[in-house]
Amino acid sequence: MAKFDLTAKNCQYLDRHLTFPLLEFLLQKNVFDQSSLLKFILETVSKTNMIDYKRDIRERLTQEKALPEELVQSRANVLVTLKELQAEVAPLMKCIEELKNPDALKDSKSVIHALQQTLDYDIILSAQKLAKYLYECGNYNDSLTYLYVCMLVMEPNDKNYLGVLWGKLAVEILTLNWPTALEDLTRLRDFIENYNFSPIQVLQQRTWLIHWSVLVFFNHAKGRDLIIDMFLYKPQYLNAIQTMCPHILRYLATAVVINRGRRNALKDLIKVIQQESYTYRDPITEFLEHLYVNFDFEGARKKLHECQTVIVNDFFIIGCLDEFVENARLMIFETFCRIHECITIGMLADKLNMKPDEAECWIVNLIRNARLDAKIDSKLGHVVMGTQPLSPYQQLVEKIDSLSVRSEALTLLVERKHKAKTQEAGEGHWKYY
């Protein structure tokens, strides 16, 4: 399924260290030629200081276990540079050790103040440089220590602060620390929205953040709600997706399908999918179009089969396969039931890509779990649907569910326009002096 593989597009907006898990995943799936992929990984890892990983890839590519002189020299150079950088930050480490003393102040603000008073700014820059160097060596945990100190001491208006935020988010992702990664993601997003970037720069920053956030959202318990709120209901990020990376609709669509509590987002999602269908289509977006736009159940059934192959070969959403199939079948079933009062189990099994016995057991479980108002006539092999009128309360909930998010977006738009008008008025006033 190389046709639907998004690795090349996604890697454009990821740090090279974040691309290594994706590329290793592709090696396991045999989607592309193994030799060509290994050569690409080797070329990418050669731009880092990860000597052991470079040796491993070279060995897998050439089957030669002997360590070439080039790598031996590279390792020696890396160790020398590392010692030099560690020597530069020795006062910082001494200060940190002193602050660990039980008699030292424990208040975070006092610690930050103590660091700012004790340390020279050049030492903080050296700490950032060392954090970056350790990161390039693949030593993410040690890098995190220095990044954390830099983030505490640096002012948000420091030109290096943004790089520290991106670095810390990358390290938290690579060490699979998802709760902290989500906190860093939120902090970085707030910084991007409040910093004085040019329109092009802020669009680029948002695009990078969108791709990095997919890694966090599909690995965090709250991510399935957060990805919908950010990608679909924050206009600036939806605009970035439509402008720069419409392929992200695959991940947004997957999140909506597997999130039963956000079915109200389907209408808004399908509008976006239809708008962008001329720039991006894949089996997952086409499945929703067939089901909710064309009401083509046969087409939806075929696309569901293709969706399974796409998900199995996508690093970001492979963990959602079973949930996606279960919820997609439920969506087909619910839509089919709205226009039929009596359905044969054989027909239903065909629509759901299931055997008749499996389909009957699946429907029995739905009825048992109170998710379906229906009865099964085993003799005739029919499912007889009950009436399921939507309560006024539920209609009201569906209408106002996204109102707060849209109100927030409208407030931001009004504030932005007011700020622009105020700046223009100020500039016009000073022109007379």
Where in the chain are the domains?
A: 340-385, 395-421
How many CB atoms neighbour CB 190 within 10 A? 11
pLDDT class of 375 with cuts at 50, 70, 90: low
Q: Pick the residue with more confidence: 10 or 122?
A: 10
- pLDDT, tens digit, for every residue of 382-403? 666 665 555 666 667 666 766 7
pLDDT recorded at residue 66: 74
Q: What is the mean pLDDT of residues 398-419?
A: 74
Residue 352 above 80 pLDDT? Answer: no
pLDDT recorded at residue 329: 87
Q: Which pTM was predicted?
A: 0.81
Q: Cα(2)–Cα(347) distance, rounded to whole angstroms?
A: 33
Counting every residue, how long is the chain?
Answer: 433
Q: Pick the residue with more confidence: 182 or 433?
A: 182
Mean pLDDT, rounded, of the chain? 84
- pLDDT, tens digit, for every residue of 124-154? 889 899 999 999 999 999 999 889 888 888 8
Range with the lowest mean pLDDT among 356-365, 384-393, 403-412? 384-393
Look up residue 410 and give its two tokens. 């409208």
pLDDT recorded at residue 424: 63
CATH architecture type of domain 340-385: Orthogonal Bundle (1.10)
Contact 297, 325 (CB under 8 A): no
